[in-house]
């Protein structure tokens, strides 16, 4: 009765049926220790001896409970399965090329593959290099703060590569709007509002905006860190000819008029309040 998933499950069920919802775990009001005892009493095996709550799918692992409940405790190494620690990761950097088509990753190091295989491969590459561990304090829907540990190596790698490509092909206003939509979308999903029409509206806007997010990004991973070291796209708005210090086409003196009035209101405010 403390988590967010109950909101998500029931919101979807209510939107699709008139079923009466029965939630034994919530109604029995058991502690985690009592739940484990109940499972063992009925002859079922548990994957873990420790009292952790673990959710796992292709996109990542979520771990909480036991010693993790106190944010002062460092997470024990044995909770991780997909990622090496930075200390144990490879001693040499790994470079990986991610290719995107209309915002969707389609290839790793030149090998085209479906999303399931691609995400699996990204998980392996990033995890081997110590990338993908997240330790955060979340705000649950019922008002509680919760310490959550995530292993999301592939997600971290793909999102970082995608974010490195977007500034190359989107305008500054598109980037600002994309950042706003991303936060709003995440909030809707996190707060069990997948059925909200606004989520569908954002999907449409994102699909339209991502039409030009195609290209390749080279990511360099090393002992828990990663950075984009190269990016290219046929839709790039960046011009080497315009930005180079050797450019003679742009008359730098013309910028003076823009600078003169930039921040005019702020300058007037400061003069009045000296």
The answer to whether residue 122 sits within a structural domain is no
The answer to whether residue 1 sits within a structural domain is yes
Q: Give me the chain's average pLDDT, please.
A: 92
pLDDT interval class at 50 (50, 70, 90): low
Which residues are CB-contacts of 8 (< 8 A; sequence separation ≥ 6)?
Answer: 192, 194
Return the residue matching tokens 């024990």. Answer: 76
Which residues are CB-contacts of 238 (< 8 A; sequence separation ≥ 6)?
Answer: 168
* pLDDT score, position 196: 94
The answer to whether residue 9 sits within a structural domain is yes
- Contact between 138 and 148 under an 8 Å Cβ cutoff? The reply is yes
Q: Give 129-160 pLDDT, tens digit per residue.
A: 999 999 999 999 889 999 999 999 999 999 99
Q: Give 209-266 pLDDT, tens digit per residue.
A: 999 999 999 999 999 999 999 999 999 999 887 777 776 777 788 888 888 889 999 9
For the chain, the domain total comes to 1
The answer to whether residue 41 sits within a structural domain is yes
Domain that holds residue 10: 1-46
68 pLDDT above the threshold of 90 = yes
Pick the closest to residue 127 from 107, 149, 148, 154 (CA basis).
Answer: 154
The answer to whether residue 15 sits within a structural domain is yes
Q: Give 78-114 pLDDT, tens digit per residue.
A: 999 999 999 999 999 999 999 999 999 999 999 999 9
SS3 69: helix
The answer to whether residue 10 sits within a structural domain is yes
Residue 45, CB-side half-sphere exposure with 13 Å CA sphere: 1
d(CA 217, CA 233): 9
The answer to whether residue 85 sits within a structural domain is no
d(CA 174, CA 231): 19
Q: Which residues of 53-68 are buried (b: 16+ CB within 10 A; e: fewer)?
A: ebeeeeebbbbbbbeb
48 pLDDT above the threshold of 60 = no
d(CA 185, CA 7): 17
49 pLDDT above the threshold of 70 = no
Pick the closest to residue 131 from 154, 149, 165 (CA basis).
Answer: 154
Alpha-helical regions (H) of the chain: 5-16, 24-28, 32-41, 115-128, 153-169, 172-190, 197-209, 240-243, 255-261, 264-272
The answer to whether residue 21 sits within a structural domain is yes
* pLDDT score, position 157: 99
């Amino acid at each position: 009765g403390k988590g967010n998933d109950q909101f998500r499950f029931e919101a979807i069920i209510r939107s699709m049926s008139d079923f009466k919802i029965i939630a034994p775990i919530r109604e029995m009001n058991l502690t985690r220790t009592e739940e484990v005892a109940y499972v063992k009493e009925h002859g079922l095996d548990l994957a873990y001896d420790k009292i952790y709550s673990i959710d796992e799918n292709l996109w990542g692992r979520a771990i909480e409970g036991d010693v993790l409940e106190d944010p002062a405790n460092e997470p024990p190494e044995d909770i991780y399965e997909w990622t090496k620690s930075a200390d144990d990761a490879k001693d040499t950097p790994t470079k990986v090329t991610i290719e995107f088509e209309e915002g969707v990753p389609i290839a790793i190091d030149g090998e085209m593959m479906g999303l399931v295989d691609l995400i699996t491969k990204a998980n392996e590459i990033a995890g081997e290099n110590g990338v993908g561990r997240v330790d955060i304090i979340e705000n649950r829907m019922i008002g509680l703060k919760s310490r959550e540990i995530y292993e999301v190596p592939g997600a971290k790698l793909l999102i970082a590569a995608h974010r490195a490509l977007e500034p190359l092909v989107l305008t500054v206003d598109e980037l600002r709007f994309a950042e706003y939509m991303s936060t709003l979308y995440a909030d809707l999903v996190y707060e069990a509002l997948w059925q909200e029409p606004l989520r569908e509206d954002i999907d449409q806007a994102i699909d339209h905006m991502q039409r030009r997010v195609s290209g390749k990004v080279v990511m360099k991973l090393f002992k828990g860190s990663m950075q984009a070291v190269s990016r290219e796209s046929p839709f790039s708005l960046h011009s080497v000819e315009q930005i180079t210090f050797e450019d003679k086409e742009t008359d730098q003196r013309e910028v003076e008029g823009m600078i003169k009035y930039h921040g005019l209101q702020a300058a007037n405010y400061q003069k009045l309040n000296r």
